[in-house]
Structure 1
């Protein structure tokens, strides 16, 4: 059962944590339910403070291969949040971060020839998500990073929380950094409490509870926004990259297509195609880049095939899937390999 005082207590707690020092805050926002709940609670905490002595950066990392339905929602939400921030004279600064051009997904795969990620070679997370945020935050020295981390989400999440225990249940240690602490004001919230927080807090109006609920419902085969005796609460879906080949099947995109997002169909077909194409030995170099015999990068021919398929997918879907600067970098990398005597297909 939801504790009616939970939101009030959490808002007051965030306010007091904000006021206690001058260490800058960075809030990681994905558009999902947990980060949206943290942002709503923090927004309401700032409404209670008259003089804001430090900025709060709201960071969204656009990897370039996020589910475009979610990305479009985030961009639209950021525009509206900026207006609400100005209206209430709050200390938020909204930043959309992107990976370096050489680290973009299609530059790596089509330009450099990286095989798409697997559980064994999962090169994507650091380059696409972690590094852009870390590079931005590292400029400030000491920092507090607000995340929607919660206990009891999964056994793996609980192990991670335990591993980074700081002695304060709301704070976690950051990997390899003494200057950064992770602050999760909803660490003890249940899934149901997250949804009720989103529904019950009126401000900011820009965070649309109904829209978030709709996306989650459409991404899961069966769920209710708030748990009832006959259903389960939404929240098991992860809105990651539409190109993800770490998993065997992208169930969330598949379910969204079944629930009417037909524009995702071409992206879903491309993802399934490249999942199979990745392991075709005929399109992989016989040597790795370190010169050792073995399944190496995609051949130039394979990269051209992937690019042509991607451009067709872009045209059919109507989504912008690759930028001109990425194409320029891809052609540069092709020329580099073609003219490199140590490169063997």
Structure 2
């Protein structure tokens, strides 16, 4: 899963290397247990250091792992949690209840060999679409946690965008690096490898996410629960402005429309605004030029104002002009010609 590598492993590795560079070595405290799976047990046994409480790290020579729970069974973990107070004040029985609601087989104690083993409940990112169904979410909803319904709907919305017929409607044909990648599938389908979500779909989805946030705050246990942070909306607007020429600050408009609150700051307004964007759209339409191309060129020139040397702005302009700006329909014809040539080449092999 790409997310595990990017969001978890790489960040942990970077932190470990920083500490090794600073102190010469590092010890990583982990809650992993041999009882989790046969594969986990094999890996932990492989890196054990005889006569030591520490294990060798799988990647870094100057790093060790300390796993105090390595020989704990799942019921041992639950017994400890239920018999000891939580240092930060929460009730561990509430934690058990949550796991039991997420998985009926979750138990604090194995009574006999016929009792299902503990540890079946799993919680991950609530927006994850890698799995077909979020069983933990479904079980919590069936257990009466109706306030989670908006979250389940958001996840299903994201899951639907992976369906081929939906992907054609909500994904751009051009990637964020400005390039278009042709596909030559065995079956009839889309001509290009899908890029990011279109700006229009992003606007629609942001509205749905903010509406979901209002619902979970109203019906859930935490009236201040955040599904998206204000800082994230600022970053979204920055990306929309730089990559899509969204001078009218649509993210802030959507936020105000849904929440009634103002998020836009004076320094978020930039040189160009809604009026300038309307003029630019008209000019682009009259001259059959992509509006985003013009907005990117204008932004690049504005960023270079006051610079003593303009070599960098020329590089930026060349990069913008090097992007693929032809419409999808024209690219489909090019792809068809390429496919015909490939077919001819294969016939004469």
Same fold (TM over 0.5): yes
C-alpha distance in structure 2 between counterparts of 1:214 and 1:163, whole Å: 35
Equivalent of residue 277 in structure 1, options 135, 140, 161: 161
Query: How far off its partner does 1:256 sit?
Result: 1.2
Comparing both structures, which one devotes a greater share of its residues to helix? 2
Q: TM-score, normalised by structure 1?
A: 0.57
2:214 aligns with 315
Residues 54 and 65 in structure 2, CA contact (< 8 A), matched pair in contact too: yes
C-alpha distance in structure 2 between counterparts of 1:174 and 1:315, whole Å: 44
Query: How far off its partner does 1:258 sit?
Result: 1.5
1:287 and 2:174 are equivalent in the alignment: yes
Q: Taking structure 1 as reference, are residues 327 and 164 closer, same or farther at Cα in structure 2, changes over 3 Å only?
A: farther
Within a 5 Å distance, the mapping from 1:296-315 to structure 2 comes to 296-315=195-214
Q: Taking structure 1 as reference, are residues 343 and 326 closer, same or farther at Cα in structure 2, changes over 3 Å only?
A: farther
C-alpha distance in structure 2 between counterparts of 1:246 and 1:175, whole Å: 26
Residues 170 and 187 in structure 1, CA contact (< 8 A), matched pair in contact too: no
Larger Rg: 2
1:267 and 2:159 are equivalent in the alignment: no
Q: Which has the higher contact order (CA 8 A, sep 6+)?
A: 1
2:278 aligns with none
Q: Taking structure 1 as reference, are residues 180 and 273 closer, same or farther at Cα in structure 2, changes over 3 Å only?
A: same
Question: Deviations 1:170-192 (Å, cap 9, x if unpaired)?
Answer: 53433532332221111111112
Equivalent of residue 242 in structure 2, options 312, 323, 336: 336
C-alpha distance in structure 2 between counterparts of 1:343 and 1:163, whole Å: 50
Question: Deviations 1:210-251 (Å, cap 9, x if unpaired)?
Answer: 122112111113333211235324311222111111111111
Q: TM-score, normalised by structure 2?
A: 0.56
Matched pairs, number: 224
C-alpha distance in structure 2 between counterparts of 1:200 and 1:207, whole Å: 13
Residues 175 and 196 in structure 2, CA contact (< 8 A), matched pair in contact too: yes
1:252 and 2:252 are equivalent in the alignment: no
Gaps of at least 5 residues in structure 2 are: 183-192, 218-224, 245-295, 297-319, 329-349
| Partner SS for 1:178 | coil
C-alpha distance in structure 2 between counterparts of 1:261 and 1:129, whole Å: 29
Query: How far off its partner does 1:131 sit?
Result: 4.8
1:140 and 2:19 are equivalent in the alignment: yes
Comparing both structures, which one devotes a greater share of its residues to strand? 1
C-alpha distance in structure 2 between counterparts of 1:235 and 1:307, whole Å: 35
Aligned-pair Cα RMSD in Å: 2.8
Q: Taking structure 1 as reference, are residues 250 and 257 closer, same or farther at Cα in structure 2, changes over 3 Å only?
A: same
Gaps of at least 5 residues in structure 1 are: 1-121
| Partner SS for 1:177 | coil
Q: Taking structure 1 as reference, are residues 282 and 145 closer, same or farther at Cα in structure 2, changes over 3 Å only?
A: same
Residues 289 and 343 in structure 1, CA contact (< 8 A), matched pair in contact too: no
Query: How far off its partner does 1:165 sit?
Result: 4.8
Equivalent of residue 96 in structure 2, options 213, 222, 231: 213
Within a 5 Å distance, the mapping from 1:102-251 to structure 2 comes to 122-134=1-13, 136=15, 138-141=17-20, 142-161=25-44, 164-166=47-49, 170-201=53-84, 204=87, 206=89, 208-229=91-112, 231-251=115-135
